[in-house]
Structure formats: structure tokens, C-alpha cells
């Protein structure tokens, strides 16, 4: 089932109401679902490989902590932040200032930034660990079966 953008995100605590959460595709809802956004976002950084390493390790540990707490929504949100660390680092690696399109809507020329490319690799490794975690996959399937 698709991510439901019509929910009242300002007044919904998804830890208390996990039945309202939909996994969606990729990073959908990553900056909407509370309290997870407020818990994870302060740790999400990728400016340099050192910062990306510290950030990805912290967020992956949060993934494991949510797993230990049997909190699928938290696990999925941590996975989304790891994925977003990869995709945003890649965008900044490929395009100066992270700007893929110019003012006319044309794709800018790629200008590879090796430092951001390394940050992307760091996040990608943790993202893969999270998205392929066997318990995560079981919980994801169960959540989708029960709630859509």
C-alpha cells in the first residue's frame, strides 16, 4: 500500500499508533512521522566522510535499538534515514550544491565530488544492513499484511 499523505501528521504519534503507519516506497514520509523524525533527524549528517560515518553508525544503532524494542515503525524510519543519507550524498556528489536542475529545468552537468561520494558509500553500507536485516524483513511483511 502507498504511503498515506492524508494523515494528520501534526497530531499523530506513530509509536502509540503504529497501525496508522504505511511503509510506502523508498523514503516516503521520512520527514513527517513523529516521534521518529525528531529522534533521528538531529543525527542525520553527511558533509564529510567522517561526519557521515558517525551519523550512519548512530542511526544504524538506533535501528538496532528500535529492533530490540520490537518497534517496526522506528526500524523502518531509521532505514529511511540511512537511505536518505545515501541518496542525498549521491546528489551532492554528482551535482555542485546538490542542484540537479538549473533554473530552466534542465539537468546540470555532473561535477563529481569525491568526498560526498565517499559519504554516500558509508551510508549505503548501513542502509543495506538495515534493509536486508532478516527480522526487519519479517516485521515489514507482517506490518504490511496487517495494516496494508
Give tens-digit pLDDT for 10-65. Answer: 999 999 999 999 998 889 999 999 999 999 999 999 999 999 999 999 999 999 99
Where is pLDDT greater, at 29 or 2? 29
DSSP character string of 10-29: GG--TTT-GGG----STTTT
Contact present, 74 and 66 (Cβ < 8 Å): yes
Q: Which long-range contacts (CB under 8 A, 24 or more apart) does 56-62 make?
A: 56/82, 56/85, 56/122, 56/123, 56/125, 56/126, 57/126, 59/85, 59/126, 60/126, 60/129, 60/130
Cell 506490518 belongs to 143
**What is the value of pTM for the model shown?**
0.92
Domains of the chain, residue spans = 9-99+108-147
Q: What is the pLDDT of residues 88-135, one digit of tens each?
A: 999 999 998 889 999 999 999 898 999 999 999 999 999 999 999 999
Amino acid at each position: 500500500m502507498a504511503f498515506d499523505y492524508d494523515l494528520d501528521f501534526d497530531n499523530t504519534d506513530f509509536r502509540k499508533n503504529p497501525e496508522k503507519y504505511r511503509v510506502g516506497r523508498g523514503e516516503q514520509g521520512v520527514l513527517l512521522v513523529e516521534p521518529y523524525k525528531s529522534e533521528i533527524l538531529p543525527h542525520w549528517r553527511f558533509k564529510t566522510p567522517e561526519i557521515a560515518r558517525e551519523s550512519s553508525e548512530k542511526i544504524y544503532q538506533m535501528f538496532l535499538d528500535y529492533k530490540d524494542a520490537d518497534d517496526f515503525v522506528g526500524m523502518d524510519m531509521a532505514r529511511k534515514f540511512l537511505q536518505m543519507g545515501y541518496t542525498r550524498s549521491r546528489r551532492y556528489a554528482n551535482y555542485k550544491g546538490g542542484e540537479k536542475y538549473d533554473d530552466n529545468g534542465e539537468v546540470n552537468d555532473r561535477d563529481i565530488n569525491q568526498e560526498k561520494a565517499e559519504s554516500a558509500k558509508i551510508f549505503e553500507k548501513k542502509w543495506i544492513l538495515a534493509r536486508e536485516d532478516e527480522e526487519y524483513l519479517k516485521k515489514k511483511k507482517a506490518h504490511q499484511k496487517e495494516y496494508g
